[in-house]
Amino acid sequence: MSYQQTFNVRFWLKKNITRKDGTIPIYARISVNSIVSDLSTQLAVKKSHWCTKAARVKLKYKDASETNPILEKILAKLHEALDQLNQEGRPVTALSIKDRYLGIDKPVLSLLELIDYHKENEFQKLASGTIKNYAATETYLKRFLKEEYKTIDVPLLQIDYSFIIKFENFLIKCKPIKSSQPLSNNGRMKHLERFKKLTTLALKHNWIKLNPFALYKMSYDHYDCAYLQAAEIRKMKSILLDDQLSVTRDLFIFSCYTGLSYVEIKNLRLSHITEGIDGNLWIMLRRQKSKTAVKLPILPDAQEILDKYLSEYYGNDSTPIIPILSNQKTNHYLKLIAKKCDIQKNLTFHVARHTFATTITLLNEVPIETVSKMLGHTKLSTTQKYARVVEEKISLDMGKLSKRLGKNLSKRSRSKQPIQLKIVR
């Protein structure tokens, strides 16, 4: 179809609305292929001043010199919106022209615009800790632009594989935001991972045509997180501690026997303690991070700690069962506790989750599939990072194999018939 056949704009008075001063709002009716969308011009005129045939204010009235030029500008901008949509290859409808005129669908063209768009439209879906991490990535990107490109912003079309490599090299040599927390390789990869999510967002919106990360591969250093052995757990449970350290110890031990993260224990309420399928008490909640359901029976050691705090619990379901300090303070106290217990490990709250996966469950022959369910993981591969097949587990498994082989050898030695081996060619 031709341009003239499909697109039309006409101004009209919305007569069912009359303002206190007697004026009536002027609207623009956008029509594409006979489908219309109405747009308020934010202007108004008295009915007697309006010429329906010309769709303008009558020239004999003085408000015509003010209103009619504005209507012409609106018409020109609507035509401009149509041209932009055609040039970008986007669908042209009455609504899409209106949205472009209003700036609702204005394309994001620069990196800082993309960062702002992500803040406005994606942050409400993220946890506060994740938002804080994006703020750090933004800081590094702005520093990088200033140092490498001597500018405060770049067009999205300028972001390519070379840009990513330059940013990675910048992260290697740059001064960290916190001098006490230098950027490790995995820290750099996390910033690049968040940057990749931003460019993927731009790709989905068609603000860029090619994925700049298509040929880039994240390279993480794999390392084993610390976990406590049974003897270290017993030592921590038996040591005498003052009030604050004692509460921190209880939180940590509770996590060792439940696998709950810091934030999940912080959010633990009475409503999360319920009767399970076996008639015993279970903890049932959703993971803070993935929102997956967590259902786990409460082990005796965890129940003992729970009972201790429930006996003094006078709150309602909005009150946490176990009083909890900030994550930073908790980790500080854990290091003091480790020193008192002579535990030569970098003790953080996350170590408890690894302890649950390794010492409490895997080494006691709980199948890894079951452990994965209790940890609330969506992928078994994630659990495998927690529940390593440690030397003690290897020793136990090989000990069982050795006994089994010993029994089989003993049976064979008592058998009168020699074992015949066949060679298959």
Alpha-carbon gap, residue 281 to 304, rounded angstroms: 12
Q: What is the DSSP letter of 175?
A: P
pLDDT at 3 over 50: no
pLDDT at residue 120, rounded to an integer: 87
CATH superfamily to which 230-392 belongs: Intergrase catalytic core (1.10.443.10)
Cβ neighbours of residue 24 under 8 Å, at least 6 residues apart? 13, 14, 15, 17, 18, 44, 45, 46, 47, 50
Looking at residue 374, its amino acid is M
**8 A C-beta contact, residue 67 and residue 35:** no
Selection from 9-23, 353-367, 378-392, 403-417 with the highest mean pLDDT: 9-23
Alpha-carbon gap, residue 38 to 149, rounded angstroms: 45
What's this model's pTM, rounded to 2 decimal places? 0.62
- The rounded Cα 84 to chain-centroid distance in angstroms is 34
Looking at residues 88-110, what average pLDDT do you find?
85
pLDDT at 37 over 90: yes
- For the chain, the average pLDDT equals 87
What is the residue-wise DSSP string for 50-77? Answer: EETTTTEE-TTSTTHHHHHHHHHHHHHH
User: Which of 55-69, 85-99, 125-139, 376-390 is predicted with the least confidence, judged by mean pLDDT?
Assistant: 376-390
CB neighbours (10 Å) of residue 47?
12
pLDDT at 420 over 60: no
Looking at residues 7-17, what average pLDDT do you find?
94
**8 A C-beta contact, residue 92 and residue 85:** yes
pLDDT at residue 390, rounded to an integer: 62
Strand partners, 283: 273, 296
Which letter, b or e, does each residue of 308-343 get, where b requires 16 or more Cβ atoms within 10 Å of its Cβ?
Answer: ebeeeeeeeeeeebbebeeeeebbebbeebbeebeb
Looking at residues 151-157, what average pLDDT do you find?
94
pLDDT at 283 over 60: yes
Q: What is the pLDDT of residues 239-277, one digit of tens each?
A: 999 888 999 999 999 999 999 989 888 888 888 889 888
pLDDT at 51 over 90: yes
**8 A C-beta contact, residue 261 and residue 339:** no
Selection from 28-42, 279-293, 380-394 with the highest mean pLDDT: 28-42
| Bigger pLDDT: 257 vs 106 | 257
Using DSSP bridges, classify how beta strands 281-286 and 7-13 pair: parallel, antiparallel or unpaired: unpaired
Place of tokens 């029976």: 297
pLDDT at residue 4, rounded to an integer: 46
